[in-house]
């Protein structure tokens, strides 16, 4: 199988946790690597970007950085350079006499590219949105999205051979939003590397630090960091040793805003912001925390929560579709239905103060994570690729 993976703004070798770099980068990298290790030719086309010199990527797939527009362009400026990106990919393939059996695109910008390449190359197209404008608008009305995104997502969904989603809830939303038949949508949850994300040898059989609360992800309004800080301010009153570690980056404006809020809440000595860290450092960070908290307005899936679960770290998260598919309420962590900092604080304090509960949640979280692996994800995707390739090869009169 020869797979052309389109990830315009999500270069898989950008360190996740910064601005516009998160779960999608990890997803593209992990799935591409596992498919390539199965003997398939995987070529990932990403836009040449300003951080290429600092991004090391030694994987089993081929990564092609396509020049299109200035490398430092912001994501909001990328729709204008997509025709150039398409032309450059086509030219690259022609110069090297490359052929592909299937096109897999990630996010709506890549979906536009994938749709056009599918037309030019006459190849099947499988798309994954990772997040949808309509869902973001619903949960965060103040956030603006370009009209072209709403229009493009509808067209991409209808033109694609298959739309891959992570959860049943996302499948229902897409079927309703775009009028798609359910058999055109495939539910394939992402996974986790259970070998990498495990209790480090130094932490085996040791009790987690009951005073440490963890957040891992971008500093973004949709992630609910403000709610987390408000909850932690309540926790800190009764838990004098409690500390909050916020791992991840964001725009300079968002970082300044978060720091200002921390100062206003008088938490400067209680909140640590190490910024973006290497993936190799995350297992120990996850393992050392009493719990990870994710009060997101919306999550397509929530890879950080799953990575934490693989390290045996319970989660206290918003009761939203993507997180609900990972966290089993009362068993691997807690789902919080309302956006109330007191409810989050109550759950955090409960986990901190009850070692037996913490250990039980930890054990169940690890078992839950073991049922979700990147190998399973890659295998499911490969079955979809083979199915649509076979369907395309059958003459239309026989279908």
Give pLDDT, residue 186: 97
What lies within 8 Å, CB to CB, of 58 at 6+ separation is: none
38 CB contacts (<8 Å, ≥6 apart)? Answer: 378, 382
In sign, the C-alpha dihedral spanning 279, 283, 286, 289 is negative
Q: Is 391 helix (H, G, I), strand (E, B) or coil?
A: helix
Q: Which pLDDT belongs to residue 204?
A: 47
CATH number of 2-191+374-398: 3.40.50.2000
Element (H, E) at 321: helix 321-324
Segments of the chain scoring below 50 in pLDDT:
54, 202, 204-205, 396-399
According to DSSP, the residues that pair with 44 across neighbouring strands are 5, 63
User: What's the CA gap between 368 and 326, in Å, rounded?
Assistant: 8
pLDDT at 222: 85
Q: Which two tokens stand for residue 96?
A: 């090297």
Which pLDDT score, from 0 to 100, does residue 323 have? Answer: 95
pLDDT at 10: 84
CA-derived radius of gyration, the chain: 21
d(CA 335, CA 327): 7
Answer for the pair 63, 46: CB distance below 8 angstroms, yes or no: yes
Tell me, what's the pLDDT at 205?
Answer: 46
Give the mean pLDDT of the chain: 91
Tell the burial category of 341 from Cβ atoms under 10 Å away from its Cβ (0-12, 13-18, 19+).
buried
pLDDT tens by residue, 147-181:
999 999 999 999 999 999 999 999 999 999 999 99
pLDDT, residue 21, reads 61
Architecture (CATH level 2) of domain 201-370: 3-Layer(aba) Sandwich (3.40)
**Euclidean distance between the first and the last CA atom of the chain, given in angstroms as a whole number:** 22
Q: 314: closest CA among 330, 337, 295? A: 330
Domain ranges for the chain, please list them. 2-191+374-398, 201-370
State residue 356's pLDDT score. Answer: 95
**Identical fold between 2-191+374-398 and 201-370:** yes
Whole-model pTM over 0.85: yes
Other CB atoms within 10 Å distance of the CB of residue 343: 17
For residue 259, give every residue at least 6 positions away whose Cβ sits within 8 Å of its Cβ, in sequence order, or none: 273
């Amino acid at each position: 199988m020869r797979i052309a993976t389109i990830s315009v703004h999500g270069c898989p070798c950008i360190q996740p946790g910064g601005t516009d770099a998160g779960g999608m980068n990890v997803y593209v990298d992990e799935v591409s690597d596992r498919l390539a290790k199965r003997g398939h030719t995987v070529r990932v086309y990403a836009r040449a970007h300003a951080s290429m010199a600092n991004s090391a990527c030694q994987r089993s797939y081929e990564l092609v950085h396509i020049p299109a527009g200035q490398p430092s362009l912001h994501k909001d400026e990328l729709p204008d350079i997509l025709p150039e990106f398409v032309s450059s990919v086509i030219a690259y393939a022609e110069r090297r006499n490359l052929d592909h059996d299937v096109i897999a695109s990630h996010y709506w910008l890549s979906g536009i590219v994938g749709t056009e390449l599918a037309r030019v190359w006459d190849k099947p197209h499988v798309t994954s949105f990772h997040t949808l404008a309509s869902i973001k608008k619903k949960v965060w009305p103040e956030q603006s999205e370009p009209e072209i995104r709403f229009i493009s997502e509808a067209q991409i969904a209808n033109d694609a051979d298959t739309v891959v989603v992570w959860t049943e809830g996302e499948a229902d939303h897409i079927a309703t939003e775009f009028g798609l038949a359910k058999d055109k949508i495939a539910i394939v949850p992402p996974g986790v590397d259970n070998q990498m994300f495990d209790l480090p040898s130094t932490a085996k059989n040791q009790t987690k630090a009951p005073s440490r609360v963890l957040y891992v992800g971008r500093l973004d309004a949709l992630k609910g960091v403000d709610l987390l800080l408000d909850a932690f301010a309540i926790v800190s009153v009764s838990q004098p040793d409690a500390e909050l570690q916020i791992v991840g980056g964001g725009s300079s404006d968002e970082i300044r805003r978060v720091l200002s809020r921390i100062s206003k809440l008088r938490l400067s000595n209680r909140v640590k912001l190490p910024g973006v860290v290497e993936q190799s450092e995350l297992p120990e960070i996850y393992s050392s925390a009493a719990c990870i908290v994710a009060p997101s307005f919306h999550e397509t899936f929530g890879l950080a929560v799953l990575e934490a679960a693989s390290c045996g770290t319970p989660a206290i998260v918003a009761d939203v579709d993507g997180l609900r598919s990972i966290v089993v309420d009362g068993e691997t962590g807690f789902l919080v239905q309302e956006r109330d900092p007191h409810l989050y604080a109550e759950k955090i304090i409960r986990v901190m103060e009850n070692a037996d509960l913490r250990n039980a949640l930890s054990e169940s979280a690890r078992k839950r994570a073991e049922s979700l692996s990147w190998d399973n994800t890659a295998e499911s995707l490969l079955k979809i690729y083979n199915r649509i390739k076979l369907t395309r090869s059958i003459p239309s009169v026989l279908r």
